Structure 1
């Protein structure tokens, strides 16, 4: 794609971006919300009929997640159906869909076919002006764009030596601008070796400072990391507090852990359970997960602890689940990243 043609294309995308800011009709919005709820707990097949309604109505997010759902059906493979949905979202200005098109072209052909770089360049050209206006979401998108551009052996060496790459500079800018997803990912980078910290305790403290900023904005993945960091620091009371907070804000994993802790506080070797044993509450939480999500993990934990409750106690726990835990808001989620694997 010639540069002049690409610039015209990007200008057209910018116009389409503003058009797609219109609100969806209430019934279509409700369908999209249900589709995203199902997608976020890992039920992408069940999510697709709901997402399709919003995608057919012109919603760009729904188009993108239709592509992601199609890809999940084939173990993250770039199928024709997935690529068609990414193309629809990309034509409406979604930079992440453009990156998926670039990745898919490289994956299917074994190497980047002629023209596939144009999608990556289009993502760059539509996103950069938004960063200049101070948009943290665009800064995060730039991180993913440059992570694709910088995906090389040399970049791996730079990461090992602690030398900032273009991608990491954009991630830190997004984190400093207050975006909780970026703050959490930057904390992960520190945990994984970014920066010069000569002791484990200093590295944990540095990562915690970023996780804390995101957790204060009710960003659940950051709450999960606060639980982990505090447990690593041997502050088990603080770790338990974050486990409860993450569960109450919809974390599937931490809701599961909370139920298991109440049912059997001795189960993990890492001292994460500092609560008093309450088998009725624990059974209620796990039963709710099994009923609401058809979750096999919670069912297994209940099977392993059948003898902890009498038949009457199980009935009491199931009534408690119906009253307090099934359908609790906000909805449960595994909080998948928009641009993950």
Structure 2
């Protein structure tokens, strides 16, 4: 079933932006914020009632992530998932269009755009004009569009343009792509340096996934002091994995060279316990089980009294999952 309302979107390309950016009522915005917090913690069932409130109020981002949540629960492109993606696609979301393509909506669900051959082509038609007008988020989206059209070279060109114009997500993806083998570098050290440059740009803009990716490169380059500084910064900004590393290094600083911290088993234990209580983190739980003999009963009691200091800090702990790509 082809949808004539997509024709209007070509005539009014600004519609998606205006609808997506429209202000929600305070209570609906609060529900969306809670839903996105749960999304960041991979709570794909718990997040849905909150995001449904925002989606019903017309929030495109909420529509897309409701589709993502149900998809990630392993349910495939069900009628429910397709419904949310279609609603987001109706308002111009290119990632929803790409999910519809990946799920075979045109074939399996007979849901195709009226004015394009398929959902990839629709995403290209919607996104290319905005990218050419200088929208760096659209440039990044084109990377994914062209990749799914088997034109990786064109996609990388747009990714590089987005990164060069300061998009921190694009900078992070470009840096990680270089680490994964993109481009020609005669020496591994040159590849690491190239990736480091892009990841540093993203990290310096406060982009937490860029910070975490940068720490991996700094580890390979034996830049332990700087690596530790980025771990602390990422922890402050809500990175779950950075918070766990911080706690572990306080409990057992001899474990890794990058643990540039003075031993503080009480504080480290409190941090790990807070992570377990907040997000039921299995890594933190394993570290605690492996290091329990490092604390005396008295130190365990002190740590227990300190847990509240580290529990539910702002910003909330998150895995910072990507918008598209897994």
TM-score, normalization: structure 2?
0.92
- The answer to whether residue 97 in structure 2 is matched with residue 98 in structure 1 is yes
In structure 2, how many angstroms separate the alpha carbons of the residues matched to 1:128 and 1:295? 41
Matches within 5 A, 1:10-89: 10-11=10-11, 14-74=14-74, 77-89=76-88
Q: Is the 8 A contact 1:250 1:332 kept in 2?
A: yes
Alignment correspondent of 1:253: 241
The Cα shift of 1:297 comes to: 2.3
1:276 corresponds in structure 2 to 262
1:294 aligns with 2:277: no
Distance 1:274 1:17, change over 3 A: closer
Off by >6 Å, runs of 4+ in structure 1: none
Superposed displacement of residue 31, structure 1: 0.5
CA apart distance, 1:327 = 1.2
Number of the residue aligned with 1:171? 159
Gaps of 5+ in 1: 156-164
**Matched residues in 1 for 2:5 and 2:237: separation?**
46
The secondary structure found in structure 2 opposite 1:44 is coil
Measure the CA separation in 1 of the matches of 2:110 and 2:52: 30
| Deviation at residue 13 of structure 1 after TM alignment | 6.1
- Quick check: 210-219 or 18-27, which moved more? 18-27
Whether contact under 8 Å (2:85, 2:97) holds in the other structure is yes
Report the CA distance between 1:5 and its aligned residue.
8.5
> What is the 5 A alignment of 1:179-190?
179-190=167-178
TM-score by length of 1: 0.88
Q: Counterparts of 1:124-203 in structure 2 under 5 Å? A: 124-150=124-150, 165-203=153-191
User: 1:316 Cα deviation (Å)?
Assistant: 1.6
Query: Does structure 2 retain, via aligned residues, the 8 Å contact 1:78–1:107?
Result: no
> Separation in 2 of the partners of 1:134 and 1:16?
16
**CA displacement at 1:188 relative to structure 2:** 1.1
**Structure 2 gap ranges (5+):** none
Aligned partners of 1:247 and 1:237: how far apart in 2?
Answer: 16
Q: Is the 8 A contact 1:150 1:167 kept in 2?
A: no
CA apart distance, 1:123: 1.2
The alpha carbon displacement at 1:11 in A equals 2.5
Check whether the contact 2:250–2:267 (CA below 8 A) recurs between aligned residues: yes
CA displacement at 1:212 relative to structure 2: 0.8
Q: Quick one: distance in 2 between partners of 1:340 and 1:308? A: 40
Deviation at 1:118, TM superposition (A): 2.3
**Comparing 44-53 and 77-86, the one that deviates more:** 77-86
Pair 114,57 (structure 1): closer, same or farther in 2 beyond 3 Å: closer
* Aligned-partner Cα distance in 2 for 1:68–1:138: 20
CA contact (8 A) 1:280 1:313 kept: yes
Once residues 6 and 68 of structure 1 are traced to their aligned partners in structure 2, the CA distance between those partners, rounded to angstroms, is: 22
In structure 1, how many angstroms separate the alpha carbons of the residues matched to 2:194 and 2:23?
40
Alpha-carbon offset, residue 106 of structure 1: 6.7
Choose 167-176 or 290-299, whichever is displaced more.
290-299
Cα distance in 2 for partners of 1:215, 1:193 equals: 21
